[in-house]
Amino acid sequence: MVNTEYFSGAYADFSRAAMSGDALCLRADNLACVRGLRVVFADLNFAVAAGGILHVSGANGAGKTSLLRMICGLLAPAAGHISLSGNTALARQSHYLGHADGLKNTLTPRETMIYESRLMAAHEACAPEDLLAHIGLAKQADQRVGTLSAGQRRRLALSRLLAAPRPIWLMDEPYTALDTAGRDLVDTLMRCHAEAGGMVVLAAHEAVPLADAQLVLDA
């Protein structure tokens, strides 16, 4: 379903950087998270190189979502720091796919993709119709978002990852509400993104065979 030619075209800059040895690397040093009076985690260190997929696991309340929000700048760490080699604008290099889809029920998927592309100042790497075809919503392109199923809404949220190429994908429980085909789609998107020189940090309770590293947070 996913056209891999999209990644080879839209991700040309990532691929060239990876081959030249100038690829980005995401790093966390002595990171700590405090919510209220509770230390959620402390002294956390990890690195994700270009092409890497890091699976963050742990019990509810262990800080998985907090970690993803720290990386994209929505939550300040209590200690330590997060850096992206060669680029200080970490938030602008990241896509964050959270629990809430943030979709407008009165728009159609086609209108949603046009809006998202303009919002992110995306270049015309891929037409909205093609993006919707990639994520399996071609037939629902002109249907109101409010009438979509939970799985279809999740697919539409995933399309944001393709609207504007960014090297870092932060995915919080990306398999939620998806059927087998939808889960396969998530895996395909992550694999293509990594192979093109991007990096993925995802929080998931499920096993993630594609991940080349795992970070276990202990509640």
pLDDT at 196: 85
Q: Write down the pTM of the prediction.
A: 0.88
**What is the domain range of residue 173?**
4-217
- The sheet with strand 94-97 has its strands ordered as 94-97, 168-172, 199-203, 53-58, 213-217
Whether pLDDT at 2 is above 80: no
Which phi and psi (to 5°) does residue 96 adopt? -115, 115
Paired strand residues for 54: 201, 213
Whether pLDDT at 9 is above 70: no
Contact 40, 34 (CB under 8 A): yes
Domain count, the chain: 1
Q: Which of 81, 73, 67, 65 is nearest to 29 (CA)?
A: 81
Whether pLDDT at 215 is above 50: yes
Encode the chain in three state secondary structure: CCCHHHHHHHCHHHHHHHHHCCCCEEEEEEEEEEECCEEEEEEEEEEEECCCEEEEEECCCCCHHHHHHHHCCCCCCCEEEEEECCCCCCHHHEEEECCCCCCCCCCCHHHHHHHHHHHCCCCCCCCHHHHHHHCCCHHHCCCCHHHCCHHHHHHHHHCHHHHCCCCEEEEECCCCCCCHHHHHHHHHHHHHHHHCCCEEEEECCCCCCCCCEEEEECC
More confident residue, 72 or 127: 72
Q: Which bin fits 123, alpha (ψ -120 to 50), beta or left (φ > 0)?
A: beta
Q: What is the CATH number of the domain that holds 67?
A: 3.40.50.300
pLDDT band, very low/low/confident/very high, at 142 (cuts 50, 70, 90): very high
CA 83 – CA 47 distance, rounded (Å) = 10
Structure tokens at 68: 């993803």
pLDDT at 20: 44
Whether pLDDT at 133 is above 80: yes
Whether pLDDT at 163 is above 70: yes
pLDDT at 18: 45
pLDDT band, very low/low/confident/very high, at 87 (cuts 50, 70, 90): low
pLDDT in tens, 119-132: 776 555 567 888 88
Mean pLDDT of 12-24: 53
Q: What is the mean pLDDT of the chain?
A: 86
Mean pLDDT of 14-26: 59
